[in-house]
Amino acid sequence: MDHFLYRDGALFAEDVPVNEIAASVGTPFYCYSTATLTRHFRLFDEALEPLDHLVCFAMKSNSNQAILKTLAELGAGMDVVSGGEYARAKAAGVPGDRIVFSGVGKTATEMRAALSGGIRQFNVESEPEMELLNAVALSMGVVAPVAIRINPDVDARTHAKIATGKSENKFGIPIARAKEVYARAAALPGLEVTGIDVHIGSQLTELEPFELAYKKVAELTQALRADGHEIRRLDLGGGLGIPYTRSNEAPPLPSEYGDLIKRTLGHLGCEVEIEPGRLISGNAGIMVSSVIYVKNGEGRDFLIVDGAMNDLVRPSMYDAHHDIIPVREPAPGTEQAPIDIVGPVCESGDTFAKQRDMPPLASGDLVAFRSAGAYGAVMSSEYNSRPLIPEVLVKGDQFAVIRPRPTFDEMISRDNIPEWLL
């Protein structure tokens, strides 16, 4: 469910007409709904009751300060994967004891920053990382709390580029070596082992892969406790998918996911952390774009819009589907026809949809790309020297620009000309 609905023939974001936002900030732009963010976070939080738990928002899906602050005020923790994301979380007012640091390539500089500013735990992904974190912690006279990420060799049945839990993926330590690695971690004086971490992939649309992985985690927890390790926290990652199409095949609900966690792991008495990103922010955002031209080609027509692959790269990168709808609701019975929806970037890959059935549209009409709140703005770039597009947050009948569009001068001023060219 989201809060982008037609009302009296016009698309609204909560109680704000989308065309009014477009008139104020120009297109293209991202628009997020506070009500949708709130609802989706609470669904996860309530799904884990009465377990001791923390819902950590996966910041890689959307790291705008206003989004982070909205979720932090609801009680969310943050899952970060870089020093920059850690700094953003802290700037949004998230305390260190609610920040989990994941990622395969943490540097000594990032480790020091998190140890200085406060951290709930590092999710350690390799033995070299474990050794470096121990050395950094000892040099600072502190102890680093860690969970070790286990690779359970479970097929998440998702897109190959977002699968993380199979043996050939770069993430985590093979579960077959877990006891050996935990023994080494326990011997390092700069580390405090707090638990187990697992994350098998993103955009999962069925629960069975989670169940397979979590049963392995339960068995490992008991084995490690038998070896004398105090396993008190289980970080179960994220990955629950969202419906990118308005079909009848909806992914599992957070409540069903929560029931699975309780059934497979609830008997262990551990604190549970989960790290959803896409399901919280994905359907909480749209990208709004204007039609530039309708072009008649050889055997097919093209709808050329002012949004491009640099603004929303998912279709080009993953062949991802986004529902695309007119901001002005078509009249009942309006005939639709297939058309390619493309952007202005000088790449054939700048294509959002091929032969998508759409109602008649003309230059200046607005369209909305649904489910664009996750992995949209955060993955955008200035390719073709196109400015990053604005982000807008709506709450009720109010809206605010939470990231402005830079001017060409602001973009160019970031370049430095060396002395020999002056």
**What residues act catalytically?**
346
Q: CA-to-CA distance for 146 and 68, rounded, in angstroms?
A: 24
* Strand duo 121-124 + 391-395: pairing: unpaired
CA atoms of 410 and 416, how far apart (whole Å)? 12
Asked if 286 contacts 14 with a C-beta cutoff of 8 angstroms, the reply is no
**Dist. CA 384–CA 89, nearest whole Å:** 30
As to burial, measured by CB atoms within 10 angstroms (0-12 exposed, 13-18 middle, 19+ buried), residue 10 is: middle
Distance of CA 414 to the CA centre of its chain: 28
What one-character DSSP code corresponds to residue 132? H
Token pair 């490690």: residue: 224
| 225 close to 272: Cβ distance less than 8 angstroms | no
**Nearest-CA neighbor of 402 among 50, 37, 137, 2?**
37
Alpha-carbon distance of 277 to 108, in angstroms, equals 26
CB 115 within 8 A of CB 136: yes
With b for 16 or more beta-carbon neighbours within 10 A and e for fewer, the 309-330 pattern comes to: bbbbbbbbeeebebbbbbbbbb
Give yes or no for a contact between 156 and 165, defined as CB atoms under 8 angstroms apart. yes
Retrieve residue 377's tokens. Answer: 């703005």
Say how far apart CA 139 and CA 223 lie, in whole Å.
32
- Give the C-alpha separation, 319 to 301, whole Å: 20
Six-digit token string for 61: 């899906």
The token pair that represents 396 in the structure block: 């009720």
